[in-house]
Amino acid sequence: MSRFIEGQDRSQVTLLPECLDDSIAEDNTVRVVDAFISELDMVALGFEGATPAATGRPSYHPAAMLKIYLYGYLNRIASSRRLERECQRNVELMWLTGRLSPDFKTIADFRRDNSAGIRNVCRRFVTLCRDLKLFSQALVAIDGSKFKAVNSRDCNFTNGKIDKRQQQIEESIQRYLSALETADRTQSVDLEAKTVRLQDKIVRLRQQMRELDGVREEIKTQPDGQISRTDPDARSMATSAKGSGMVAYNVQVAVDAKHHLIVAHEVTNIGSDKAQLSPMAQAAREAMGKKRLRALADRGYFSGNQIKACADVGIAVLLPSQRHPMPRQRGVSTKRTSSISRKTTNTSAQPDRGRSSV
């Protein structure tokens, strides 16, 4: 007999099948998700398809799709294709949905078509937390994060990017024209084929120049001077690393300091956080139902107008001030002066050993 723990035979037939509920512990998170969503009024929250049609093929209930979406959010599964696979093999999702396995497009369409309903569910959850007295401390932390958009950097245009790209195209055209002149002066076997190939490249580059001129005219109508082709709402933003900008969204979040619950969130396409302090603090105060609130933020939110706007509505803000360079006299370095003074002091304290005293 083997000294290892052995599993059951895959072909073993059981007369009394195991209950799926036995595989889910009493303190499992999916039980909380199931209890919360089961009590929601999907019609009042604005979910599409909550009232079934009298004809046609039956659809999935929005509550079942919402359970899949929230389960993926809690377990960091954002892909609709991965959620489709998890519905077929994950015991927790089988228990949560009753062994339903919608395809990835159904999951993606639900997420796309019910954004307003999902936001209402977030508000309902914050209200539930407030009723349970989880927001006992009127203290929140506010921060933002850059979420990369579908739009690539090559499909985002500004006046500076267009100028740089057109300069590169002009240099390429000049290089190809020089190559054509060189080819005309030489007698080569493949001269005709090379000439045709270079002329085609010049035609395509000039076409790109005309397209960039059209994009420049479109930029003039944009208030922020940017255009994103694939994801129109995304904007080019700077990140903490030097020279590593990305086309993204700025997601603002206010989190309860005691239980780390998200009480307010907002998605913007403004790269800076300076104008987000007061709106997020007021949204958090309204969601928590507090008259007064303390808000914590980092140095990127420092703005005199935003701090005053918070103080006017009874919100105390705690954040570090921006760094300012130390005042120094023009042309004089503090570090160099201190080192020179130390050197002078040491020199004056010791006798000159290189010279003989008279």
Q: What is the SS3 assignment for 179-240?
A: HHHHHHHCCCCCHHHHHHHHHHHHHHHHHHHHHHHHHHHHHCCCCCCCEECCCCCCEEECCC
- Tens-digit pLDDT profile for residues 97-132: 999 999 999 999 999 999 999 999 999 999 999 888
Element (H or E) spanning 163, and its range? helix 159-185
The number of angstroms, rounded, from the C-alpha of 334 to the middle of its chain's C-alpha atoms is 42
Q: Give the mean pLDDT of 17-46.
A: 91
Q: Evaluate if residue 353 carries a pLDDT over 60.
A: no
Residue 54: band (very low, low, confident or very high) from pLDDT cuts 50, 70, 90? confident
Look over the chain and give the mean of its residue pLDDT values, rounded to a whole number. 84
Three-class secondary structure of residue 248 per DSSP: strand
Residue 75: band (very low, low, confident or very high) from pLDDT cuts 50, 70, 90? very high
Q: Give the mean pLDDT of 319-346.
A: 54
User: Can you tell me which residue has the tokens 């929005």?
Assistant: 62
Q: Evaluate if residue 88 carries a pLDDT over 90.
A: yes
Category of 31 on φ-ψ map: left (φ > 0), alpha (ψ -120 to 50) or beta: alpha
Share of the chain above pLDDT 90, in %: 43
pLDDT reported for residue 5: 76
pLDDT reported for residue 190: 67
Identify the weakest region by mean pLDDT among 16-20, 178-182, 188-192.
188-192
Nearest alpha carbon to residue 250 among 264, 259, 239 = 239
Residue 151: band (very low, low, confident or very high) from pLDDT cuts 50, 70, 90? confident
Q: Evaluate if residue 304 carries a pLDDT over 60.
A: yes
Q: Give the mean pLDDT of 164-175.
A: 85
User: Can you tell me which residue has the tokens 């809690």?
Assistant: 74
Beta bridge pairs of residue 262: 255
Q: Evaluate if residue 299 carries a pLDDT over 60.
A: yes
Give the end-to-end CA distance of the chain in Å, rounded to a whole number.
104
pLDDT reported for residue 217: 86
Residue 220: band (very low, low, confident or very high) from pLDDT cuts 50, 70, 90? confident
Q: Give the mean pLDDT of 193-215.
A: 83
Q: Evaluate if residue 164 carries a pLDDT over 90.
A: no
Share of the chain above pLDDT 70, in %: 86
- Parallel/antiparallel/unpaired status of strands 227-228 and 156-157: antiparallel
Q: What's the maximum distance between 2 C-alpha atoms anywhere in the chain?
A: 119
* 8 Å CB contact between 42 and 117: yes
pLDDT reported for residue 336: 43
The token duo for 130 is 């407030």
Residue 231: band (very low, low, confident or very high) from pLDDT cuts 50, 70, 90? confident
Question: Which of the listed ranges 77-81, 207-211, 220-224 does the model predict with the highest average pLDDT?
Answer: 77-81
pLDDT reported for residue 324: 64
pLDDT reported for residue 221: 84
pLDDT reported for residue 74: 92
In whole angstroms, give the CA distance from residue 284 to residue 290. 9
Q: Evaluate if residue 16 carries a pLDDT over 50.
A: yes
What's the chain's length in residues? Answer: 358
